[in-house]
């Protein structure tokens, strides 16, 4: 499977008025506040960040210092940079079966444009979300979903290689990924999902056809099998004018519908 190498530098927009170190700060802050980088986890070193984002170590250091100044991380010599942020919101329980039905219905009612499919070594925070050692090979799939010919959402998914053995490009274009995961013999037992907000950068604004700086709905979700093993991690970013998440709160459980 051919695709873009995820180990190359993560894009920063050098044309923006926003300083590069602050762009990196915003990216890392999103990963921390969304829960992708959990409380107590370690952030990459200045050297690793400089290579990942294609910037100098001084720029990477300024980004980490800004995170520390805003009490998202704590920096200690010989220890590194540790996440100290705890999300204020408490998780609530939902009905996984109804949530999966909604996700599958959404998948069937939209069309997919497949951008990238490749086996890549994962690094933080993806390795932490999937409970695997850094560098483990996973299938990375990048897609856009369209409704009535217009882009609705941009998805980046990671799936363990043993679950992804039968995920061909043709199947990924025509079949919801959760269906393919179940066809691989996986019995889905639950998921952890965080919904937050972000702003469209130059790349995302082009993909979703919105203005730079437009509000974007950001969904980070890790799906687990019946034994608690993560079988998919997905970061989805949506146009809020095209996509909504509705929660119907009932007693004693919670039914969730994704629209």
Question: For 17-68, what is each residue's pLDDT tens digit?
Answer: 788 999 899 889 888 887 778 888 899 999 999 998 999 999 999 999 999 9
Across all residues in the chain, what is the average pLDDT?
83
CATH superfamily of 96-258: Chorismate lyase-like (3.40.1410.10)
Neighbours of 53 (CB within 10 A): 22
Q: Which of 72-76, 95-99, 199-203 has the lowest mean pLDDT?
A: 95-99
Strands (E), the chain: 73-76, 80-83, 111-121, 137-147, 150-160, 188-199, 215-225, 230-238, 245-249, 254-258
Q: What is the pLDDT of residue 110?
A: 76
CA angle 35, 222, 52 (to 5 degrees): 60
Q: What angle do CA 130, 176, 97 make, to 5 degrees?
A: 70
Compare 250 and 199 and report the one with higher pLDDT: 199
Contacts of 63 (CB under 8 A, 6+ apart): 21, 22, 24, 25, 28, 49
Say what the pLDDT of residue 254 is. Answer: 46
Specify whether domain 20-83 bears CATH 1.10.10.60. no
| Separation between Cα atoms, residue 105 and residue 94, nearest integer Å | 18
Is residue 96 predicted with pLDDT exceeding 60? no
Domain ranges of the chain: 20-83, 96-258
H helix intervals, the chain = 20-33, 46-53, 57-69, 96-109, 126-129, 169-174, 177-183, 202-208
pLDDT at 8: 40
From the number of C-beta atoms within 10 Å of its C-beta (0-12, 13-18, 19+), residue 131 rates as middle
Return d(Cα 84, Cα 28) in angstroms, integer.
Answer: 13
> Across-strand partners of 233?
158, 222
Tokens of 153: 């959402």
């Amino acid at each position: 499977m051919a695709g873009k190498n995820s180990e190359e530098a993560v894009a920063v927009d050098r044309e923006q008025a926003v300083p590069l170190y602050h762009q990196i700060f915003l990216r890392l802050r999103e990963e921390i506040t969304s829960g992708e980088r959990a409380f107590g986890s370690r952030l990459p070193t200045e050297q690793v960040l400089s290579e990942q984002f294609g910037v100098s170590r001084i720029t990477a250091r300024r980004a980490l210092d800004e995170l520390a100044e805003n009490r998202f991380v704590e920096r200690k010599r010989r220890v590194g940079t540790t996440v100290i942020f705890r999300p204020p919101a408490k998780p609530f329980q939902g009905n996984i079966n109804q949530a999966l039905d909604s996700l599958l219905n959404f998948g069937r009612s939209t069309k997919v444009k497949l951008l990238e499919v490749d086996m890549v070594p994962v690094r933080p925070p993806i390795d932490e979300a999937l409970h695997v050692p850094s560098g483990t090979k996973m299938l990375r799939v990048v897609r856009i979903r369209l409704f009535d010919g217009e882009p609705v959402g941009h998805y980046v998914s990671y799936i363990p290689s043993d679950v992804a053995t039968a995920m061909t490009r043709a199947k990924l274009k025509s079949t919801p990924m959760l269906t393919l995961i179940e066809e691989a013999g996986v019995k889905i037992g639950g998921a952890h999902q965080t919904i937050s907000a972000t702003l469209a950068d130059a790349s995302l604004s082009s993909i979703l056809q919105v203005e730079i700086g437009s509000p974007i709905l950001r969904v980070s979700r890790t799906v687990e099998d019946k034994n608690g093993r993560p079988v998919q991690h997905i970061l989805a970013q949506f146009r809020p004018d095209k996509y909504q998440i509705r929660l119907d709160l009932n007693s004693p459980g919670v039914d969730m519908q994704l629209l």
